[in-house]
Amino acid sequence: MTDVPVHRYSCVIIGGGLTGLRAALEIADAGYDTAVISKVHPLRSHSVAAQGGINAALGNAKGGENDTWEAHAFDTIKGSDYLADQDAVALMCRDAPRAVIELEHMGTVFSRTQDGRIAQRPFGGAGFPRTCYAQDRTGHNILHTLYEQAVNRKIPVYEEFFVISLVHAGGRCVGCTALEIATGKVHGFVSGVVFLATGGFGRIYSRSTNALINTGDGASLALRAGAPLKDMEFVQFHPTSLYGTNILITEGARGEGGILLNSDGERFMDRYAPGSRELAPRDVVARAIQKEIDEGRGFNGGYVHLDLTFLGEDLIKKRLPGIRLITRDFTGVDPINKPIPVQPAQHYSMGGVGVSLDGRVTDVGGLYAAGECACVSVHGANRLGGNSLLETVVFGRHVAQTILKDLSGVQISSSDPVKDAVQQMERKLAAMLSRGEGEPLYRIMDELKVTMITHFGIFRREKTMIEGLKKVKELQDRFSGVIITHKGQVFNQALVQALELEGMLLLAEVVAQGALARKESRGSHARTDFPARDDNNFLTHTMARLKEGEIEILYEPVTLGMFEPKERQY
């Protein structure tokens, strides 16, 4: 064998955001050697972009004194359109206060009430103001806190390493291979267990609040390794992204009292959710905005106004300084004086790698997943704002505790299977780079994103989805002829993008197949040809597997127990 760089750890964590870092702290503190692999510096993980806050029933806000974890669980399950697994929701909501206080003790600087307690604001779909926040930069503050903790523990981080395959031997996952972007060299990682914490797949859409790195790498790795993907048709569109750039405008802006206005100056949410208005769940508000635009009551046919002007200069500067900076820099609008132009954009992936309550990946031994790349199903068909940051820290820790139990019986395997996989990946990359003629990478990428937003967006119907699936399959065929014009090894981002695109095309098909098969409307999945929710036939999780090169769709029951499904009203 040629000289292959191989690294050995008890646990390898793929992803350097909140989920991965929280898990790394737990495993390192137990005395096991663990490493984090991230395709960017951890502080550039998409967790840094979360603005509005993290939910916990602390009861600190006026009007929230009687909040409980059970009320949090009910709001979450109702918001999910009853597709969330209720045991997973109970675990998350019960652990939420501990998780937030733990972050505070680690050093996260939360905004405060006048008497010094952690401040909380209202968020959509919540019966109480339970969203803890750090101005409008909550994810930024938490990520920096956890990264500081990881640095303090000297946890090794392989930054700008792109994982390109999972390695199997003896019926379980025993490691992975990764491209060192700076050198073009493929490394092998041998480990007792592998933990996926790679985030969502939003960049398969052209209009997205997601970072460019959100290409679903963990989900596509798991699918190709034999794991099922769960509920992938449920894609959340955030109601308020900045028109023209689709930068996120936090739900916290509406939580502080911002209102939505159409081109007639009408506060139109009175029509769609008279009880909750702008603080209805995201799927309800996003559909309302899109309907206003589609029916000609948008500005220039593409956006509505989010009006914060009446909140006053002091409140905006104190609680929404980041939003003010963003709108001023990218549109020239100061929200103190003028309303913000907003439109819905893809924001979050409710679906992901199918895992058990303890984070074990279904049917793949030695593999675990948590956070947005996984689907333990605390969000079901629609995630409530403030629950994503909570999921990362609760399940990052919880799944790490599962790993600690499992590691005691694991023997780290020989390096040979990983070395073989490295050589296989080297041959694959060489073949991709040697291609002299073909289609430009960007063309397929752009067509994929437009296809997904056009055919699998906020509103869906069979005819357009069939057309979209046909287009996705065509793009998959064309990918085999893609050309990478840059042939160098050092920081070859075109090669990385080609590897990302390969996985994105696979995930796009899973989204399409799941959406076509689910003949109902539930949460974020709104079909104009099947407008009603169908609990008789579709109170089930969609499970997609790759079988002999084709996507197979199966279903599994939802875990009920605490609350019986009923019609959502806001």
442-478, pLDDT tens digit by residue? 999 999 999 999 999 999 999 999 999 999 999 999 9
Q: What is the mean pLDDT of residues 527-536?
A: 98
Task: Kindly provide the residue ranges of all beta strands, DSSP E only, lying in 433-513, ordered along the sequence.
Answer: 439-440, 459-460, 482-483
Q: What is the pLDDT of residues 60-80, one digit of tens each?
A: 999 999 999 999 999 999 999
Looking at residue 426, its amino acid is: E
What is the predicted pLDDT for the residue at 2?
57
Determine the Cα–Cα distance for residues 373 and 252; give it in Å rounded to an integer. Answer: 24
Q: What is the pLDDT of residues 119-159, one digit of tens each?
A: 999 999 999 999 999 999 999 999 999 999 999 999 999 99
CA angle, corner 395, sides to 393 and 401, nearest 5? 110
Question: Which CATH architecture best describes the domain 240-344?
Answer: Alpha-Beta Complex (3.90)
What is the predicted pLDDT for the residue at 436?
86
Sign of CA dihedral 533, 538, 540, 542: negative
**Helical spans, DSSP H, in 302-410:** 313-319, 321-331, 387-407
Whether the pLDDT of residue 1 is over 80: the answer is: no
Where residue 31 falls (left for φ over 0; alpha for ψ -120 to 50; beta otherwise) is left
Proportion of the chain above pLDDT 70, given as a percent: 100
Extract the tokens encoding 450. Answer: 């437009």
Give whole-number Cα distances, 567 to 481, 492, 522, 570, in Å: 49, 51, 11, 10
282 is catalytic: yes
Q: Which residues of 403-438 are buried (b: 16+ CB within 10 A; e: fewer)?
A: bbebbeebeebebebbbbbbbebbeebeebbeeeee
Q: What is the pLDDT of residues 269-308, one digit of tens each?
A: 999 999 999 999 999 999 999 999 999 999 997 999 999 9
Length of the chain: 570
Q: Counting runs of H as helices and runs of E as strands, what totals does the chain give?
A: 16, 23
Alpha-carbon torsion, ordered 101, 103, 105, 108, to 10 deg: -120
Determine the Cα–Cα distance for residues 211 and 203; give it in Å rounded to an integer. Answer: 8
Determine the Cα–Cα distance for residues 487 and 433; give it in Å rounded to an integer. Answer: 6
What is the predicted pLDDT for the residue at 532?
97
Give whole-number Cα distances, 167 to 14, 423, 540, in Å: 13, 12, 31
Looking at residue 394, its amino acid is: V
Q: What is the pLDDT of residues 387-443, one digit of tens each?
A: 999 999 999 999 999 999 999 888 887 899 999 999 999 999 999 999 988 999 999
Q: Does domain 1-53+137-234+350-556 have CATH number 3.50.50.60?
A: yes
Determine the Cα–Cα distance for residues 289 and 281; give it in Å rounded to an integer. Answer: 13
Determine the Cα–Cα distance for residues 418 and 169; give it in Å rounded to an integer. Answer: 9
Extract the tokens encoding 232. Answer: 């992938």
Whether the pLDDT of residue 338 is over 50: the answer is: yes
How far does the chain reach from its first CA to its final CA, in angstroms?
A: 64
Strand partners, 260: 306
Determine the Cα–Cα distance for residues 226 and 224; give it in Å rounded to an integer. Answer: 5
**Contacts by residues 273-279 (CB-CB < 8 Å, ≥ 24 positions apart):** 273/570, 275/569, 275/570, 276/124, 276/125, 276/570, 278/124, 278/254, 279/122, 279/123, 279/124, 279/125, 279/126, 279/254, 279/255
Q: What is the pTM of this model?
A: 0.96
Strand partners, 367: 194
Residue appearing with tokens 């287009």: 471
Task: Kindly provide the residue ranges of all beta strands, DSSP E only, lying in 185-339, ordered along the sequence.
Answer: 185-196, 229-230, 235-242, 259-261, 304-307
Whether the pLDDT of residue 197 is over 60: the answer is: yes
Determine the Cα–Cα distance for residues 239 and 285; give it in Å rounded to an integer. Answer: 6
What is the predicted pLDDT for the residue at 562?
94
Domain ranges for the chain, please list them: 1-53+137-234+350-556, 240-344
Looking at residue 101, its amino acid is: I
Determine the Cα–Cα distance for residues 245 and 457; give it in Å rounded to an integer. Answer: 17
Q: How many CB atoms lie within 10 A of CB 529?
A: 12
**Helical spans, DSSP H, in 133-272:** 138-152, 217-224, 252-255, 269-272
Determine the Cα–Cα distance for residues 370 and 391; give it in Å rounded to an integer. Answer: 8
Task: Kindly provide the residue ranges of all beta strands, DSSP E only, lying in 422-539, ordered along the sequence.
Answer: 439-440, 459-460, 482-483, 526-527
Choosing from 137, 282, 319, 397, the catalytic residue is 282
Extract the tokens encoding 331. Answer: 């549109």
Give the neighbor-by-neighbor strand order of the sheet with 304-307. 235-242, 340-349, 304-307, 259-261
